[in-house]
Amino acid sequence: MSAQETPQPRQAKVRYDGRLKVTGKATYAAEFAVPNLHYGFIVQSTIPNGEIVSMDTAAAERASGVVAILTPFNAQLLPAYGKAAVNPPAGRHMSLLQDKIVNYNGQPIAVVVARSLPEAEFAATLLEVRYKSAPALLDFKGRLGEARLPKKSPPPHVDDSAAKVAAAVESAAASIVETYTTPIENHNPMEPHATIATWNGDSLTLHNSTQSVSGDARTVAKTLGIPVDNVRVISPFVGGGFGCKGSTWSHVVLAAMAAKAANCPVKIALDRTQMFGPVGARPATVQSLKLASDAGGTLTGIAHDVVINSSVMEEFVESSAGQTRMLYKSPVVAISHKLVDVNYGISTFQRAPGEATGTYALESAMDELAYKLKMDPVQLRLANYAEMDQSNKMPFSSKHLRECYQQAGERFGWAKRTAAPRSMNDGELLIGYGMATATYPAFRAAAQASVAMAPDGRVIVSSGTQDIGTGMYTLMQQTAADVLGVAMDVVDVKLGDTTLPPAPGSGGSQSAASVCPAVQEAATQVKLKLMQLAINDAQSPLHGAREDDISAENGRLISKQSPKLADAYTAIMVRNGSAPVEATADAEPGDERKNFSLHSFGAVFAEVAVDPYLHMIKVRRVVATYDIGTLLNQKTGLNQLVGGIVWGIGMALHEETKIDPVYGRTVNENLAEYHVPVNADIGDIDVSVVGIPDTTLNPLGARGVGEIGITGAAAAVANAVYHATGIRVRELPITLDKLMA
């Protein structure tokens, strides 16, 4: 079925939350008005490894406005500490003042609570902390020889695949054996983390900036040793998450502990510098790639070995070789992931964890192989097109990557590219064209939603999901309106509250694919109930009709055979006692993952201009086409894809966290020195989708779009830089000094 033949959902043209956000009326976690609110400020360690010997709080306690100071010497003991994490890494090892051990520079070691934030910050400077330092593990790249297998992963499958790849490389007509590195990258959403904790007896309410209200409630309850029903988490708006707000971090529980100790509500809002360390980061990777092919470009072996920095506090694996197992056809593929323990903060999810860094390395290596073969990079990928997932021998639920290459390549003008590096110019500027493949797995989890129609025809749709800026409000509104056949503006949405029907966390690009089917089912049940009321009502024009002969349109039920026979929802409910009609529905995955490989795909093309004298790089334009199933909403969906590409440009050219090699502190923990793309860095971005539904994954045919946009983008830019300059940079970010021959 072509995209033109596929019925598409009726789309909301305006974001449900758009007016609230642009007028400043959207209330974020730190903005809730809570009576008697006090302010907490987290004090951080200044050594990377050791123990706190003493902490003199006398001067701080005498400071203006101070009501409480929590330290490892007086904090409440938590009965579940050390056992609190729920399915790590969603629940993390937290620093909750339960011991005096310091594991990294910047670790929370105290909380000062005062009447105002300036008073809390000033008092924090008065704390006198004495440490007993110990040698710290800070040199990640210098200790690659100490890399170990992850403890939590199952034992590696022992076979001879690595040896077979090595043999394939030895006998190959063309081969690539190279190493690609990516740095630590820190999240910098517009809204830093923030939590307001309020106790009412034994019940705790948290206004928290989070990607998982239910996950936070479970983790906090277990950590504090209280029933989960005693914890309510509220998060109606999130100013960006991208993975860092997908876990429960120390400040959330510390806010609850501080509120209990101070006997008043406490807000802890992290400042920008505190976003570096205590709330995770994407780990650095060192990725070794081996590609072997025959003279025609057919791959005969692939090996992808990844080494990652891992905190001494908790393992986190950036699965950068994951996509390599399935993206291209090869008779033998060998992958591995190893860790080097360091005294850094815990690593965590960052947009497309694994695939973002892994596609950079794999797609750069594929580009290098294409040049060695004197073969067009697109043709090389088509020559090794995988019709099935060779890692598990399963068919893809839906795959239209060929169309992505064709459509994006034509819009980009790839055919105009001359193959030789440094062969294209615009005046004195060097012009480069590069491309890469994008991919990300498709996920879906169990979710619940409720839909209620009031007698006046207004509809409320509710689910305990989150809108982290991706457009969940709009998608829930649109889905309910589409099923019920009502105007978008009569549908109200409630989300971001643990008192609502439960839904999964907003991570893994799964929210729309999980929650919207539940909304669709609940709305369908409401429509069926209204149909039955009309069918059984002697006063209804639809009395005695069959359900399959009734459709919904413009707030009415209409006979398909006799369209003049119609009954308005409001009239049906008035005649039946003016009671609201409501339903709650569950939607969950079936056996599709047992029978199919579930992935999205895309093709990304980039044009760069490089100044041959100053070596400054400008990304002029990016053209990309994605196979993500049904695009539920063009405004929100394309916005997510564009955002991912922008982040990919930042990954290629800008982002890098610098760790001091002696003291272990992030030295660029601010937006002045941790560079992210701004408007001036971004040229034209042209994104589109194939638009063919994947109904194997869910009845809406939709796969997630939040993360695939970043995958492949960094490689496309890096490959374009090589085409422009003839200099292959294998270490991100590509800064001008790396182009100085």
The pLDDT value given to residue 6: 41
Instruction: Give the pLDDT band (50/70/90) at residue 90.
Output: low
CA-only gyration radius of the chain, Å: 27
CA neighbor of 340 nearest in space, from 202, 145, 151, 498: 145
Mean pLDDT, range 86-115, rounded to an integer: 90
More confident site: 80 or 19: 19
Inter-axis angle of helices 634-653 and 713-725, nearest 10: 50
Mean pLDDT, range 363-371, rounded to an integer: 99
pLDDT tens digits for 443-482? Answer: 999 999 999 999 999 999 999 999 999 999 999 999 999 9
Active-site residue flag, 707: yes
Mean pLDDT, range 690-699, rounded to an integer: 97
CA neighbor of 45 nearest in space, from 95, 134, 105, 113: 105
729: Cβ contacts below 8 Å, ≥ 6 apart: 718, 721, 722, 738, 739
Residue 82 in this model has a pLDDT that exceeds 80: no
Instruction: Give the pLDDT band (50/70/90) at residue 11.
Output: confident
Instruction: Give the pLDDT band (50/70/90) at residue 271.
Output: very high
Residue 556 in this model has a pLDDT that exceeds 90: yes
Distance CA 604, CA 597 (A): 22
What does 310-329 look like in DSSP terms, one character per residue?
EESS------TTGGGGTSB-
| Residue % of the chain over a pLDDT of 90 | 95
The pLDDT value given to residue 466: 98
Residue 1 in this model has a pLDDT that exceeds 60: no
Mean pLDDT, range 401-423, rounded to an integer: 98
Residue 10 in this model has a pLDDT that exceeds 80: no
pLDDT tens digits for 639-679? Answer: 999 999 999 999 999 999 999 999 999 999 999 999 999 99
Q: Hey, what amino acid is at 503?
A: A
Distance CA 712, CA 719 (A): 10
369: Cβ contacts below 8 Å, ≥ 6 apart: 174, 175, 176, 291, 293, 297, 380
More confident site: 92 or 82: 92
Residue 96 in this model has a pLDDT that exceeds 90: yes
The pLDDT value given to residue 152: 78
Structure tokens at 570: 């409001």
Distance CA 22, CA 2 (A): 38
Distance CA 83, CA 717 (A): 44
**Per-chain mean pLDDT for the chain:** 96
What does 117-172 look like in DSSP terms, one character per residue?
HHHHHHHHHT-EEEEEE------SGGGGGG-B--SSSPPPP--SHHHHHHHHHHH-
The pLDDT value given to residue 12: 79
The pTM of this model reads: 0.96
Q: Domain locations in the chain? A: 18-22+445-588, 32-135+190-240+245-275, 285-443+593-739
The pLDDT value given to residue 434: 99
Q: Does domain 18-22+445-588 have CATH number 3.20.20.70?
A: no
706: Cβ contacts below 8 Å, ≥ 6 apart: 351, 470, 509, 511, 640, 644
- CATH assignment of 32-135+190-240+245-275? 3.30.365.10
Same fold for the pair 18-22+445-588 and 32-135+190-240+245-275: yes
Catalytic residue among 191, 355, 607, 707: 707
Residue 159 in this model has a pLDDT that exceeds 90: no
Instruction: Give the pLDDT band (50/70/90) at residue 5.
Output: very low
Sheet of 556-559: strands edge to edge? 550-553, 556-559, 566-568
CA neighbor of 340 nearest in space, from 371, 306, 369: 306
Q: Give the number of other CB atoms < 10 A from CB of residue 555.
A: 18
The pLDDT value given to residue 2: 36
Instruction: Give the pLDDT band (50/70/90) at residue 4.
Output: very low
Q: 583-608: buried (b, 16+ CB within 10 Å) or exposed (e) per residue?
A: bbbebebeebbeebbbbbbbbbbbbb
Distance CA 291, CA 330 (A): 10
CATH class of 285-443+593-739: alpha beta
Q: Is the dihedral of CA 634, 637, 640, 641 positive or negative?
A: negative
Mean pLDDT, range 35-50, rounded to an integer: 98
